[in-house]
Structure 1
Amino acid sequence: MDLETLWFILIALLFTGYFFLEGFDFGVGILYRFLPGDRTERSMMRSAIGPHWDANEVWLITAGGAMFAAFPDWYATLFSGFYLPLFLIVVALIVRIVGIELRGKMFSERSRSWCDALFFLGSLLPAFLWGVAITNIVRGVPIDASMTYTGTLLTLLSPYALLGGVVSTLVFTLHGALFLSMRVEGELAERARRTARSLWWPAALALGTFALLGYRETVLFERMGLVPGTLPLMAVLSFVACYVFIHARKAVWAFASGGATIVLGTVVAFEGLFPRVMVSSLGPQYDLTIRNASSSEYTLQVMLLVALTLLPLVLGYQAWTYWIFRQRVTRRSVELEGSH
């Protein structure tokens, strides 16, 4: 395997990890506006993601840094052409941090309500915009011979791209509900399970429509033909299994199955792109590929050594934090924490 292919796979894995981990953070933030019945349950929801949300965002930072170093032309074209949506994602993530971190320092109920609104909006907007962005990358956007995006903001807001945003929002919200049903106890966990069961059907309808239109709208059609490959079928089976486990009250297995759908869906998108990194709607001769968008071989070699040294440490630390905070969040634990 050459270095360009290896780094494409590594970046794909980083984005896959980000969508899986940050996906349930987004989902919890979206449900935060509707699910909790009282102040204690709101605290339970914040505590469920409290030890993890900031570490989950590191996956995005690492993916962006790896893209910048390994494929600078991909990074330049993507961040210049998608500047406004990506800028809004960054602003929303900052707003969410403000809502989470400052809430405990506010003394008035009105100020805490503003922080709750920031937490909700800072979760909803990225959940939607990431779906729009990934859909446009796979579908193709106008890129000319100089690797410059020549479209406008409206170009990125096609009906199919907006459908992609709806799909990602529904799937991440479902992911968050499944995470809560696994991480909290009591009536909140049961309410999260019922919410997940209700969300499954609109998510399935949106996903099915998105997948069927994808054969006409995206490069996946030419790569996979009329018969879906193994990975798309596995994604369908995992999503169906998620519904079965929700009804069987198997919270951990339902979360794992729903998460597998996100993982497989992301892998399908990157597999459909390869060896391209961005598709030009002006013609295949203008596509950005792992060859014409990559850094020098020496740069890729140095980066690989750094990644092989640091990445296992980061993964080990994050796995350790999930193990330490593996216990379910209860009303009593939140009330005791608030008393100190």
Structure 2
Amino acid sequence: MGLQELWFVLIAVLFTGYFVLEGFDFGVGMLMPVLGRGKDAVADTRRRVLLNTIGPVWDGNEVWLLTAGGALFAAFPEWYATLFSGFYLPLLLILLALIVRVCAIEYRGKIDDPTWRRRWDLGIMVGSWVPAVLWGVAFANIVRGVAIDEDKQYVGGFFALLNPYALLGGATTALVFALHGAVFLALKTGDEVRADAVKLAHRLSIPTVVVAGVFVLWTQLAYGKGWTAILVAVAAVALVAVVALTRLEREGWAFVFTTVAIAATIVLLFGSLFPNVMPSTLNDAWSLTIENASSSPYTLKVMTWAAAIVTPVVLIYQGWTYWVFRQRISTHHIPKSIGLTVGAERS
């Protein structure tokens, strides 16, 4: 494997880690109106339980996106330039949504006022739904191919990105992340919050199997390769297993299989893409590939050494964080909401 192939694989790994970890963060935010329902005091307590499940880890999970974007810029600058200029509007919407979500998580507990918290809760929900949908739209378009001219510029419009395959990709990521988040909440919470999360996870699992199944099958038939059919089977089996496991209330194994389903789907997308990084629908000769979009061999070599040294440290630290905050959280762990700061909510 050459350095170009290696960094293509590493970028795929980074995005896989991001979607697995940030996927349940998005799911928690998406499901707050459903699992955080009730009268003011009850709803606030339940929503604080939901936020406490991701409180120690959500910002660390976002680092995977920053690292993936940095690696994309350094290893494949032509890919980065064409992607971020051509997909400027959807990526800007994702960025704005992530900023709103960050502010909402940090600020909702700053003032002890129900109206204040409800408004920030809306920001958490919107800031979770928008990226959950648009990431699927973006990656589906990357695999499908877009209008790239001979100067490596995207010449299609915004609405060209809203094709049926891409919209199905958006629906798939939204449903999978919602299911992933519901299973995560069932794994991390207790009492009535866990019971409701288990029920919701089972209800979400069936439509998710249908929509995601159509998407991965379409991907394989239209853009896949021979070996990627294995990934379609893995994703399908994993999602079907989630249906059974949520019914049996085996949320630990259900979370394992939602993780497998997400990972298999992302690897399917990258595997279908290779050796291209952004196919052109205008002319195959104008497609961006790992060869014509990459940095110099020296740059890739320096990056490889840096990644080999730093990556194990980051993985060990993040794994330790999850271990420390592994306990379940219940409503009786949440103190009365008077003058609490976000830091107190996370404790």
What is the match of residue 226 of structure 2?
224
What is the match of residue 267 of structure 1?
267
| Distance in 1, Cα, partners of 2:273 & 2:218 | 17
TM-score, normalization by structure 2: 0.93
Given that 2:94 and 2:131 are in contact with CA atoms closer than 8 Å, whether structure 1 keeps it comes out as: yes
Please say which of residues 282-291 and 9-18 is displaced more in the overlay: 282-291
SS at match of 1:281: coil
Q: CA deviation at 1:145?
A: 1.3
Q: Is 2:78 aligned against 1:76?
A: no
- Tell me how many residue pairs correspond in the alignment: 335
TM-score, normalization by structure 1: 0.95
What is the match of residue 68 of structure 2?
63
Q: CA deviation at 1:215?
A: 4.6
| Distance in 2, Cα, partners of 1:100 & 1:73 | 35
| Distance in 2, Cα, partners of 1:65 & 1:209 | 32
Amino acid at match of 1:91: L
Match among 134, 138, 148 for residue 143 of structure 1:
148
Q: Is 2:184 aligned against 1:179?
A: yes
| Distance in 1, Cα, partners of 2:273 & 2:336 | 50
**Aligned-pair Cα RMSD in Å:** 1.5
What is the match of residue 156 of structure 1?
161
The unaligned stretches of length 5 or more in structure 1 are: none
| Distance in 1, Cα, partners of 2:321 & 2:214 | 38
Given that 2:232 and 2:264 are in contact with CA atoms closer than 8 Å, whether structure 1 keeps it comes out as: yes
What is the match of residue 6 of structure 1?
6
| Distance in 2, Cα, partners of 1:288 & 1:154 | 22
Q: CA deviation at 1:335?
A: 2.4
| Distance in 2, Cα, partners of 1:213 & 1:295 | 32
What is the match of residue 256 of structure 2?
256
Given that 2:220 and 2:232 are in contact with CA atoms closer than 8 Å, whether structure 1 keeps it comes out as: no
What is the match of residue 90 of structure 2?
85
Given that 2:219 and 2:269 are in contact with CA atoms closer than 8 Å, whether structure 1 keeps it comes out as: no
Matches within 5 A, 1:1-340: 1-37=1-37, 38-215=43-220, 218-220=222-224, 223-224=225-226, 229-335=229-335
Given that 2:220 and 2:229 are in contact with CA atoms closer than 8 Å, whether structure 1 keeps it comes out as: no
The unaligned stretches of length 5 or more in structure 2 are: 38-42
| Distance in 1, Cα, partners of 2:331 & 2:282 | 57
| Distance in 2, Cα, partners of 1:99 & 1:201 | 31
Given that 2:104 and 2:124 are in contact with CA atoms closer than 8 Å, whether structure 1 keeps it comes out as: yes
